[in-house]
Amino acid sequence: MIPAGPHGGDGARLAAALGVDPAAVLDLSASLNPVAPDAGEVVGKHLDALRRYPDPTVATAALARAMGVDPDRLLVTNGGSEAIALVADALGGRVEEPDFGLYPRGSGPLWRSNPHNPTGRLASGSADIWDEAFYPLATGRWTSGEPLVVGSLTKLLACPGLRVGYVLGAPRLRQPAWSVNGLACSALPDLLEAVDLPAWAAAIAALRAGLVDVLRDAGFSPEPSDANFVLVRAPGLRARLAPHGVLVRDCASFGLPDHVRVAVPDAAGLARLEEALTLENPCAAR
């Protein structure tokens, strides 16, 4: 069994260990939008951008229009991880555990994820900096309107390899020149054309309910969630599912070694997970 990476998304390594194509792995350790259209079809129309230095101006304007915010308040970044790193370098910060591992653990402003990672519950209370990577998929709205927000379009658009994130309400941040790659800058306006947040959030809620049913039928008790993932106490489940090419997120990095986080799959993925769980637990067969 491959060791768990600190942030999930270990599907390619599991595929290598099993000797199969990465496409054959159901990677539920990465919580991506299960109903997003194939970003590759859109990005493939923008390969000419590889011949130019990237310019995020048009992409920033398109994202600002989609979000309904002033483009002067918006900074497009090289994924949500760069958004977090830029704000953390400028302001520092602290968290109330458990929370996402990339936030700073020091002093200064309070960081919180919304929905909370890893429980998936929409947050209440206050914070100084909010991570809304999963907020649109949980609510059908772009943002809660907090003054300082980081976000990840790679979750929303299901394209983690493209690397697109943002800071909203950005202070002066020292972003390197040409940080956001040219394919992302060129393709983002077209990718945003397909976004339907209310429809996607509703579809994910229905798929999440199906995931909860499958996990309960297998004898588990998943925690309530508003996100496109659920948290469940399931010691050893990751190791038991991996030989079947199904991967879930180990939560030891959150301080929850007996828990896993399971991304909401599409209908085909849900059926495959159910089959794998039944193989591991014949008594759960319906």
Check if CATH label 1.10.150.80 holds for domain 11-36+198-284.
no
Number of Cβ within 10 Å of residue 136's Cβ equals 24
Cis status of the peptide bond prior to 98, with omega within 30 of 0: yes
Q: Phi and psi at residue 231, in whole multiples of 5°? A: -100, 135
Residue 286 banded pLDDT, cuts 50, 70, 90: very low
Q: Note the pTM of the prediction, 2 decimals.
A: 0.94
How far apart CA 49 and CA 113 sit, in angstroms, is 33
Rounded (10°) CA dihedral 12, 253, 246, 202: -100
Residue type, 208: R
61-95 pLDDT tens trace: 999 999 999 999 999 999 999 999 999 999 999 99
How far apart CA 65 and CA 283 sit, in angstroms, is 52
3-state DSSP call for residue 243?
helix
CA 97 to each of CA 103, 117, 129: distance values in angstroms, whole numbers, following the listed order? 11, 10, 15
Number of Cβ within 10 Å of residue 193's Cβ equals 10
Q: Residue 191 has what pLDDT?
A: 98
Q: Where in the chain is the domain with CATH 3.90.1150.10?
A: 11-36+198-284
Q: Residue 172 has what pLDDT?
A: 87
Please state which architecture CATH assigns to domain 39-193. Answer: 3-Layer(aba) Sandwich (3.40)
109-151 pLDDT tens trace: 999 999 999 999 999 899 999 999 999 999 999 999 999 999 9
Q: Residue 3 has what pLDDT?
A: 81
Query: Tokens standing for 176?
Result: 């390197």
Residue 4 banded pLDDT, cuts 50, 70, 90: confident
Q: What is the mean pLDDT of residues 12-26?
A: 92
Task: Give the 3-state secondary structure percentages of the chain, helix then strand then coil, rounded to 5.
Answer: 40, 15, 45
Q: Residue 113 has what pLDDT?
A: 98
Query: With contact defined as beta carbons under 8 Å apart, do 204 and 35 qualify?
Result: yes
210-255 pLDDT tens trace: 999 999 999 999 999 999 999 999 999 999 999 999 999 999 999 9
Q: Where in the chain is the domain with CATH 3.40.640.10?
A: 39-193
Q: Residue 5 has what pLDDT?
A: 78
Those residues with Cβ within 8 angstroms of residue 261's Cβ, 6 or more apart along the chain or in another chain: 8, 29, 31, 118, 120, 229, 230, 231, 232, 248, 249, 251
How far apart CA 54 and CA 190 sit, in angstroms, is 16
Q: What is the mean pLDDT of residues 24-48?
A: 97
Q: What is the mean pLDDT of residues 48-55?
A: 97
Is the pLDDT score of 284 beyond 50?
Answer: no
178-206 pLDDT tens trace: 999 999 999 999 999 999 999 999 999 99
Q: Residue 280 has what pLDDT?
A: 57
